[in-house]
Each structure stands twice: as structure tokens, then as C-alpha cells.
A and B are shown apart, each in its own frame.
Chain A
């Protein structure tokens, strides 16, 4: 083929595997070899030259590597025509609109000068790099999918990530389907789409039946993938029974589809679907192989995640049985607890507490077994139940502790346990510590350790443990805690005993003691909680504690319950006054004290012969009580006016939250 003014060795060029075209400066194609005709979808080089350039371009949808459409001025040949001499090679992904075939190409262009020394032609050399590019994409896709699948045990979430990775490089949308537990319906659990606006549509897609003759159901049943290179409309109409869905799918313009099994250990557990629509490309055998590999990897990951989830569920079920109990109501004592195991999947740590009735009293136990996880949980169970049964049978905490020591020594593996037992009987606390931190006795504003340290259990045949008995005065608070409290790590050191004593000094009652420890640890600790923490506090008191959710009904719930506590002891008029005051204080706690559903109002009721004391606790920062509140018809503070005028005595105390208390004498007060 003659090219005026340009000497080309046609025989050599025609035989080249690379596509070669030559353009004149006005953009006309004046030469194309056989390879160029092939890749530009022309019957022959002559036919290609006879086709207007614009028409050739329209045969393809061309994209940059990032998926954006190619603009004409990006083409290296065009840039030479515009005066550049050495334009950068251009990588394009071209999809043949007629066949849907996708090819990756790199185009290089060189300027050729005419005898006058001016640029007269642009020579374009186009290399087909489809295989290289696909291998690169496949590798990248599998690598990223592997990372995503290994990143979490939340498989529905990771499958979503895998679906998103496949788009747009492999498909325009990608869906993940899993059959339900009974294997009747197939649910779409994740969908990704080039156009995120369409994801919702895909999710709305109804679950399909496992008994469908073709499609996802057949792939899951048979474990064999399905590739439909071109989807004829009849096939679509045949496959989709629901006319609404069919219409939607037609609107999307599905061109090509592949469905591959997600398999694990020879079993098919779901399917991945890949659809080509917007891009107009058709899937190839190579695409199918890549999709199948994704399916295998996703299947394995899902199966692992399921096994893990199942194992966690079993562990939780077992652990729930070992969780410390809600402490029973104990006459003359109020109790409160804090239990915080360290670690995510660890509900039950090596710490435990318990309270059990013994003859004429109660036995409280706080303990800590060595080790973590399942073996620690098993040891916890052994320690708790041994102490329970032997304390009941032997009626003596010392002998119960000796019994547990013997049990632990009998075990083949090293089994260590530390406990602190407190026997409450006749207003006295008998304390026995075995390798355990000593409990703290809070009396008024002072706090001190009580009891004597003894050996840890499970270590020595002949241990000696010395009980110590202290008399509990009314309103004394005794706090038992595990070493997780002392060993809480702060910025530079552990929490330690001094901080604990300082925090507890002045704690008003068991709940308050728990609140101050929780608050102090929260402010002190740095980083993740390293150790399990258990705290049990008890107060010798006649006070009852009522916990009321902090909502609009709280005032009524609280005043009714307080009135019920007092009903047997107080005359009707005094009861009415108490109801008014409780209503006022609880209203304030909800309105101003920050109480809500999560942070309830706590009301303690203490009934003595001559008087009753009621305290309302809220989580708020507190306020300065006016010396003599003044009544204001316009509202605000009227609740406190009533307290001032009706109560025999009242006050405000601040701890972690705020406590407003009042006392009312049984004989009619002179106030009012």
C-alpha cells in the first residue's frame, strides 16, 4: 500500500505482531498493518483505512486504568498531531461494543519527519498486554481479597469487602449469596456495584428459592460454576419469573454473567455472582478462573469464621453458667459488686465472687484463680462450688478453705487459687485471706486494711490460715477486691493500696464504694485492661436500696416503693410527706442529675425506731444547696423548699454522683 512521501517496508510491518498505524498530520489513517486491522475490529487493513477515524473510535469503550473514560486528547498519536514529539505511552482498557471483548493495550507513538524536516506523520504502535494485565489484576485482587478475608471473623462484613474489591476490575457488580440455615432460601448477604446508588436495588432483590432450576441455586447445589458470555433477553425472561425483577434487570442491561461456588472442604456453602452490565464487556474463561479462585478463598474464610463463631457461642454458653450471681438480699446488709473480665471473648475471667447463707449468717467470697481462658474458667467453677458445698457442710470458712486447698492439690496440673472469705455473723465479720489482698474496712472518713495474709491455695500441703474477727458498726463498709484492682496500670505505676484506701475513705455505702473504685480506676488506667477485676462491697445497714430507671415515671415508682417500705412504721400523714419529698428529689435527679435509662436513680431507705432516712443518688455533678431555700412560685428549686420545710434534717453529699438525703422523725416534726 503506497504511502505518499513516506517509505515503509510493508512486508516487514505487515508481518509484525504489534499493531502499527500511520496517521498524517490531519489525522487521516494512511497505513495499517494486519495486526492493526485485527485489534481495531476491521476485516482488512484496506477496510480499516476506508473507515472514518471517529467510527473506529466508536467501536470501543475505552478506559484508563483507573476506570475513567479515555479522552481523545490523551491518545499519543493525537498529541503528536498537536505538536508533542515524544508523548508518554498510554495504557487503555478497550471493550469492543459489538463483541463485548475486553483487551488491554499500550499505545506508543513516534513522530516521523518529512524530507523537509517537519513532522509529517505519527506512527502508532499498539501492543496487546491483555494477558499480562489480567494476571496483574488477578494477583492484586486475590492478594487484597486474602487480606480482607483474614482481617476479621465477621464474615458478612468481609464478604462485602471482597465483593467491593471485584468491582470494577472484574465486574460491574458482584453479589454474595448464602443459603439460610435450613437450606430453603438463598439470601443476598453482600452486594457491590460500580454505581453505589444501585446497591440498594440489589439488596431489595428478594431471596431466591434453593429449588430454582438454574442460576445461583444450581451452582450451590452442583458446586459447578456457570458462565453466560452473552445474556440473550429470552434467557433473562426465562430465568426471572417475577416481571418486576425482570424489568429492573433489563434496565440495568446485563450483558454477561458468571456465578461461581464458594466452597470449603469440598462443600459448597454459597455463591459469588459477577455481572457485567454498564461496561458492556463479556466474561472470558480467564475471568471465570479468577472468579472461581476468589470463590474458593472466600468459602474457606467463611467456613473458618463460622467455626470460630460457633466455638465462641459454645464458650459463652458455658461461661454464662459460671458468671457471678446476682447477690441475694441479705437482712441487715446492703451489697454491691463490680465484675470486669479482661479480654474481648472472655466473659468469665479467673476472678469470682459469691455469697451464700450459712448457719446464723452469710459467707462472702472473692477469689482469683491462676491462668486465663477456658482452663481458668474450669478452675473457677471448681473453686466456687467446692467452697459453696464445704462451707455449707462444714459451717466454718477455715475448714472450707482447707478443703479447697486439698482439692486443688489433688489435681494433676498446678492449680492455684487465692480467696478472701468473710463470714458475717452477729454483727461481726470474720476475715480469712489465702494469698489474697486484704479487704478494706471503711468507717466514716477513714479506710484501712483488715485481716491477715495467708498462703495461696493449691501450693502447700500444710498451710496455715489465721482468721481475724472485726466488729462491724452500723454503716461500716467492707470492700473485698481481687488484685486486678491493685495491679491496674496507670501512666507510670500500678494503682496500689494507697490509692485504693484514699479512694475508699468516706465511701457512704456499698454502692458508693463500688462507684468510687470504678471511677478511680477509670481515671487512673492507661491502655487496655490487663487483668480481671472483681469487687464486692457490703455495708452493715438497715437501709434498703431501690434502683429506679431514670425516666419520667421514676418519681412515681420511687415514692410508691419508699412508701411501701415505710408503711408499717409511719402514720399516713408522715407517709404522704415522704412521698412528696421522694417525688421532688427523684424529679430533680432525672431533670438535673443526669439520671437516665442507663444511669438509674438509686434510693436508699433506712428505717429506725424513731426516724427514717431516705437518700436519693444521681450520677450528676451535684450542686451547692442554698442555706434556706426560698419558695418561688415561678418554679425551680421548689422541691428543695419542700424538703427544707418538711424534713426533720436534710443535706447534700457528693461522691462520684450526688446524694440528697433527708430524715423524717416518727413523732410529728415541728417544721412546716
Chain B
């Protein structure tokens, strides 16, 4: 498995993608807001095009506002409409609280570790 890492010019925000036979794991690191969300969206859409399942790993996200929430729900909606399956890897307690406050929690598949769906060690 060769990690595919791409550096973007926006501050310290990076997105790493790991492709497994059963799922693509997209791992952003840094802060998700209006300045960085489009980079992440692009990577997610690219994975949806050729993976049966896309996992968004929030473990290395330091900050997220509703730009990130909205992105998550776009992915979930496409999954419900017959696109590739979608799951989240739980982020910080504070990010989880954001989902709760927004009331967007129910219906999301949330994992503690991507290995649950990739079948490999994370």
C-alpha cells in the first residue's frame, strides 16, 4: 500500500488518501474551513469515482466549522442516493460535539478505526 500524499499551498492543511480493495480512506490533517474545504471535497469526489466505499478520517483534524459539516452531509447524501458507501472515522470530542449540536449525527456511519472496513491494520 503506497500512501498517496498531496501537499496544498493553503497553510498546513494536507489530505492523504489510502486506497484499499474495499475502501478509499481520505485523511485530512489541519483545519477545515472555507479556505481548505474545496481541496478536501475534490479528493473525496475523486475517490467516489472509483471506490465502492469512501471513509473520511477526521482523527487528524484540529478544527472544523460548518464548512466541514456540510461536506460530510453532501457525501452522506450521495451515498444514500446510490453512490459509494460513506463512513466517518470519529474526530476529536469537540468535533463530535459539533455534529451533535448541528443535529446531524443520526444516520451517519461512524467508525473508531478505518481497519473496521478496510480489513487491514490502520
A interface residues (Cβ-Cβ under 8 A, vs B): 552-553, 555-556, 559, 573, 576, 579-580, 583-584, 587, 590-591, 631, 633-635, 638-639, 641-642, 645-646, 672
CA distance A335 to B58 in the complex (A): 42
Pick the contact of B31: A556, A631, A638 (CB < 8 A): A556
Contacts of B6 in A (CB 8 A): none
Q: Which of B17-25, B46-54, B100-108, B114-122 contacts A (4 or more CB under 8 A)?
A: B100-108
Contacts of A553 in B (CB 8 A): 11, 35
Are the C-beta atoms of A631 and B103 separated by less than 8 Å? yes
Are the C-beta atoms of B33 and A633 separated by less than 8 Å? no
Which B78-116 residues sit within 8 Å CB-CB of chain A?
94, 97-98, 100-104
Are the C-beta atoms of A580 and B98 separated by less than 8 Å? yes
CA distance A590 to B67 in the complex (A): 14
Pick the contact of A641: B94, B97, B102 (CB < 8 A): B102
Are the C-beta atoms of B101 and A587 separated by less than 8 Å? no
Are the C-beta atoms of B67 and A587 separated by less than 8 Å? yes
17 cross-chain CB contacts under 8 A? A555-B65, A556-B31, A556-B33, A580-B66, A580-B98, A583-B33, A583-B65, A587-B65, A631-B104, A633-B104, A634-B73, A635-B70, A638-B66, A641-B66, A642-B65, A642-B102, A672-B101
CA distance A187 to B65 in the complex (A): 56
Are the C-beta atoms of B104 and A556 separated by less than 8 Å? no
CA distance A641 to B63 in the complex (A): 18
Which secondary structure dominates chain B's binding surface? Answer: helix
CA distance A559 to B63 in the complex (A): 11
Shortest CB-to-CB span from A628 to chain B, Å, is 13
Pick the contact of A584: B11, B66, B97, B104 (CB < 8 A): B66
Are the C-beta atoms of A580 and B34 separated by less than 8 Å? no
A582 — nearest CB in chain B belongs to which residue? B65
Contacts of B31 in A (CB 8 A): 556
B61 close to chain A: CB less than 8 A: no
Which B1-40 residues sit within 8 Å CB-CB of chain A?
11, 31, 33-35
Are the C-beta atoms of B63 and A579 separated by less than 8 Å? yes
Known: A583-B65, A638-B69, A638-B70. A555 touches B102 (CB 8 A): no
Pick the contact of A633: B77, B98, B100 (CB < 8 A): B77
Are the C-beta atoms of B104 and A639 separated by less than 8 Å? no
CA distance A579 to B66 in the complex (A): 12
CA distance A639 to B69 in the complex (A): 10
Known: A633-B104, A638-B102. A552 touches B35 (CB 8 A): yes
Pick the contact of A645: B34, B65, B77, B101 (CB < 8 A): B101
Are the C-beta atoms of A573 and B11 separated by less than 8 Å? no
Known: A633-B70, A635-B70, A646-B101. A580 touches B65 (CB 8 A): yes
Are the C-beta atoms of B104 and A590 separated by less than 8 Å? no
Contacts of B63 in A (CB 8 A): 559, 576, 579-580, 583
Are the C-beta atoms of A555 and B66 separated by less than 8 Å? no
CA distance A553 to B104 in the complex (A): 26
For the complex of A and B, the 7 pairs showing the least CB-CB separation, nearest first, are: A583-B65, A552-B35, A638-B66, A633-B73, A635-B70, A576-B94, A587-B34
Shortest CB-to-CB span from B58 to chain A, Å, is 14
CA distance A545 to B67 in the complex (A): 26
Contacts of B33 in A (CB 8 A): 555-556, 583, 587
Known: A555-B34, A556-B33, A556-B35. A584 touches B65 (CB 8 A): yes
Contacts of A555 in B (CB 8 A): 33-35, 65
Contacts of B104 in A (CB 8 A): 631, 633
Contacts of A591 in B (CB 8 A): 34
Are the C-beta atoms of A556 and B98 separated by less than 8 Å? no
B93 — nearest CB in chain A belongs to which residue? A573
Shortest CB-to-CB span from A645 to chain B, Å, is 5
Contacts of B77 in A (CB 8 A): 633
CA distance A468 to B105 in the complex (A): 61
Known: A639-B65, A642-B101, A672-B101. A552 touches B34 (CB 8 A): yes
CA distance A352 to B98 in the complex (A): 50
Contacts of B98 in A (CB 8 A): 580, 642
CA distance A633 to B108 in the complex (A): 13
CA distance A645 to B66 in the complex (A): 13
Contacts of B66 in A (CB 8 A): 580, 584, 638-639, 641-642
Shortest CB-to-CB span from B63 to chain A, Å, is 6
CA distance A672 to B101 in the complex (A): 5
Shortest CB-to-CB span from A553 to chain B, Å, is 5
Contacts of B100 in A (CB 8 A): 672
> Known pairs A556-B11, A631-B104. 18 more at Cβ < 8 A?
A553-B11, A555-B34, A555-B35, A556-B33, A573-B97, A576-B94, A580-B66, A580-B98, A584-B66, A633-B70, A633-B73, A633-B77, A633-B104, A635-B70, A638-B102, A642-B98, A645-B102, A672-B101
